[in-house]
């Protein structure tokens, strides 16, 4: 997939250091309040990243796991699982410097065009405190459940013009 100067390429073993750094950046605010030393934080985040990475690989063996690049530089990750009725947006994360400039919106808009063309719903989980919830709400996602610190959001399938014509 190529979107407005962005390249989405499958992750490779050599991407793990970047993915670990990206994961740590998504938890930086939370960890700043832990009272832990930087060494303790680094060890904890490495353990958490490894557990998450292993979980995703095990539970979504047919998932698509992409590094997002702009001008040859890794800036994020996008993890997807295309089911028969639903796209599960497993994870999307951008480096802090890339947040708030429309990159996430552009990625989500492109994904939802593909989802709509397939007549699928789209689901994701997001932490209760994550400001990205505003973005998801703008794209029509609605809460459908809670699980611990996560809120499950869903955007219902949108019938494509072809599906409406076929049903007539």
> In sequence order, what are the residues at sequence separation of 6 or more whose Cβ sits closer than 8 angstroms to the Cβ of residue 52?
23
Residue range 55-79: mean pLDDT, rounded:
96
Q: What is the pLDDT of residue 30?
A: 87
Residues 127-149: what's their mean pLDDT?
Answer: 92
Question: In the chain, what are the domain boundaries?
Answer: 2-167
Mean pLDDT score across all residues of the chain: 90
Tell me the CATH class for 2-167: alpha beta
Cβ–Cβ under 8 Å, residues 53 and 24: no
């Amino acid at each position: 997939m190529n979107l407005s100067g962005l390249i989405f390429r499958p992750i490779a073993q050599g991407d793990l250091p970047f993915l670990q750094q990206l994961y740590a950046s998504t938890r930086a605010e939370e960890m700043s309040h832990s009272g832990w030393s930087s060494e303790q934080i680094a060890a904890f985040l490495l353990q958490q990243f490894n557990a998450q990475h292993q979980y995703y690989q095990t539970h979504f063996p047919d998932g698509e796991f992409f590094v997002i690049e702009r001008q040859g530089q890794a800036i994020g990750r996008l993890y997807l699982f295309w089911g028969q009725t639903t796209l599960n947006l497993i994870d999307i994360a951008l480096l802090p410097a890339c947040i708030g400039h429309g990159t996430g919106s552009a990625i989500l808009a492109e994904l939802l065009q593909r989802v709509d063309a397939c007549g699928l719903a789209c689901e994701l989980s997001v932490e209760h405190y994550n400001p990205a919830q505003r973005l998801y709400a703008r794209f029509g996602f609605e809460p459908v459940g809670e699980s611990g610190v996560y809120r499950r959001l869903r955007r219902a399938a949108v019938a494509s013009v072809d599906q409406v014509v076929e049903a007539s």
